[in-house]
Amino acid sequence: MTALDDPAEQVPTSAGGDNHALSTAVDDAAGTPPAPAPGGAEAAGRRSWVRHLTRWGAIGLSLVLVGTLGYLWFDSRVPSTYSVIDMGYADYGGGAVPLAGHQHAGGVSVSTLTGPATGTPAVAVTLTARKESFTLASGERVDGYTLNHASPGPEIRARVGDLVQVDLVNESVPDGVALHWHGVRVPNAEDGVAGVTQDAVPVGGRHTYRFVAQDAGTYWYHSHQVSHEQVKGGLFGALVVDPSPADLVLPVHTYDGRRTVQGASGERRLPAPAGVPARLRLINTDNGPLRLSVTGAPYRVVAVDGHDLHGPTDISDRGVVIAAGGRVDLSVTPPAGGGAVRVDLGAGSSVVVGPAGASAPAAVTPAAVVDLLSYGTRGPVDLDLSHFDRDFTLSIGRSPGFLDGRPGLWWTMNGHLYPDVPMFMVRTGDIVKMTISNDSGEVHPMHLHGHVALVLSRNGVPSSGSPWWTDSLDVDDGESYVIAFKADNPGIWLDHCHNLPHATDGMIAHLAYEGYTTPYVIGGKADNAPE
């Protein structure tokens, strides 16, 4: 595992040292003015000596350059099989450091952190994964992935306290599958990350997930094996806890460039009575931010990432942005006097909510969007913010270098390239503060598994609206967010960008609880590849 063991520190020192020594010699040689033909054997000798020095200096410099690049290339290669707990370097966030240092050996295996082993599930679903072509509800053919022959997969509805059991069967996904419950606080062994909390389920295999639904709200599930390809191709579905029967659950997804809602492109009509608020549970399953606008009646944002907002107010002149992986619940009321409400999702996709036959005004795109930092009113927060046990920094940048042997301009975390990234170390019970900043030139929807975080401030401006709990937070270029969460769910958790191709390109770190280890590996016999 040498390639993963903090070698970066040594590179600049040794290479830089050699480089300096050689460039001095070359500079000296090159700096010697061209001899003005003074004549004489002594001068000719000096000229040829200078030529020699210049030539050898240039060759030497090239060798050092090639050597340095070669070393960086070599050093960047990620072993085909490794454990995530050997990745990068431990970051204790200024908190307690275990005596043994970055030491997981002998820890509790995350495979023991399962949901209830006994008990009859209140919700039991079998999901059979296939790689196949299928027809969207709007008629287009897609070559992708399905669950029970459909994409999105079945909508799972549960109540708080329900034991949920999902039997995942892989019938024909060649790379294997795993199901992650995005935003849901499940025990670590149920988190569905291939290579971290389980092995990918091979064709012909099955895996059972069991967990108790703890929090009401809008969530989703998706494959966490080769996820950048499988999620894009359709291997996902909605999971909602404690919905009203009339709630509309609306996963938005782009298949082959076609934006869809509930798996149908174009305008989708959803019947709802006039004068009665309807709850629309929107899920952004794509890789980029989803910007929506509403026409036909004022509306409210009533929940974000599964958590109800406090004191939401009517909105009529602003749109809403949902981060990739994020969810937003809207409350819309079709006007009592007739007409319908249109929620425009861009790219020709919209939903029209109202009585049958009612029409909705055309979409207009407001210039402004709702700012969740100040929307709603302050409310109670179930998190002790009087002191922090850990204070982490996650600063996202971009720099040239080698990623697994490939030269390019790559995402960095705290200045480091994958796999030399921080491992955020915590103890059960810690109150954790994390500052996430971004100057990489692009937005990154940061997603922490197994926890929900409270936004404290953005660019130094404290949150002044409803408590804003999130698990999928868009950090725009030039922004800096401070968030806080309680480390109350032991295990090893991914903390990554939910623009999944970015995760593939190394925007992936972990939150690890001291004293836990994983028996699973990236690569290995199961070919685990969570991104």
Binding site for ligand C2O (CB under 6 A): 180, 182, 222, 224, 325, 447, 449, 494, 496, 498
Q: Does 447 bind Cu ion (CB under 5 A)?
A: no
CB nearer Cu ion, residue 448 or residue 507:
507
CB nearer ligand C2O, residue 327 or residue 447:
447
Give the side-chain half-sphere CA count within 13 A for 167. Answer: 9
CB nearer ligand C2O, residue 239 or residue 278:
239
490: partner contacted, choices Cu ion, ligand C2O, none (Cβ within 5-8 A by kind): none
Do the beta carbons of residue 258 and residue 302 sit within 8 Å? Answer: no
Structure tokens at 416: 């480091």
497: partner contacted, choices ligand C2O, Cu ion, none (Cβ within 5-8 A by kind): Cu ion
User: How far is residue 104 from each of residues 157, 312, 427, 524, measured CA to CA in Å?
Assistant: 37, 45, 13, 20
CB nearer ligand C2O, residue 268 or residue 496:
496
Write down the least CB distance from residue 75 to ligand C2O, Å.
27
Structure tokens at 48: 């040829």
Q: Nearest 5°: CA angle at 149, between 146 and 154?
A: 80
User: Which secondary-structure segment (H or E) carries 462?
Assistant: strand 461-462
210: partner contacted, choices Cu ion, ligand C2O, none (Cβ within 5-8 A by kind): none
Q: Does 444 bind Cu ion (CB under 5 A)?
A: yes
224: partner contacted, choices Cu ion, ligand C2O, none (Cβ within 5-8 A by kind): ligand C2O
Residues 6+ apart with CB under 8 A from 42: none
Write down the least CB distance from residue 181 to ligand C2O, Å.
9
The neighbouring-strand residues paired with 453 are 470
Structure tokens at 43: 């001068």
CB nearer Cu ion, residue 212 or residue 497:
497
CB nearer ligand C2O, residue 390 or residue 449:
449
Q: Does 494 bind Cu ion (CB under 5 A)?
A: no
Q: What share of the chain is helix, strand, coil (3-state, %, to 5)?
A: 15, 40, 45
CB nearer Cu ion, residue 431 or residue 507:
507
Structure tokens at 397: 């940048």
358: partner contacted, choices ligand C2O, Cu ion, none (Cβ within 5-8 A by kind): none
Please give the residues from 495 up to 524 whose contact with Cu ion meets the rule CB under 5 A.
497, 499, 502, 507
207: partner contacted, choices Cu ion, ligand C2O, none (Cβ within 5-8 A by kind): none
CB nearer ligand C2O, residue 140 or residue 215:
215
Residues 6+ apart with CB under 8 A from 287: 232, 324, 498, 499, 500, 501, 502
Q: How far is CA 5 from the centre of its chain?
A: 24
Write down the least CB distance from residue 197 to Cu ion, Å.
22
Radius of gyration of the chain (CA): 27
Do the beta carbons of residue 325 and residue 445 sit within 8 Å? Answer: yes
Binding residue count for Cu ion, defined by CB under 5 A: 5
SS3 149: coil
Write down the least CB distance from residue 263 to ligand C2O, Å.
19
279: partner contacted, choices Cu ion, ligand C2O, none (Cβ within 5-8 A by kind): none
180: partner contacted, choices ligand C2O, Cu ion, none (Cβ within 5-8 A by kind): ligand C2O
Q: Please provide the DSSP assignment of 409-440 as one string.
A: EEEEETTB-TTS-EEEEE-TT-EEEEEEEE-S
Binding site for Cu ion (CB under 5 A): 444, 497, 499, 502, 507
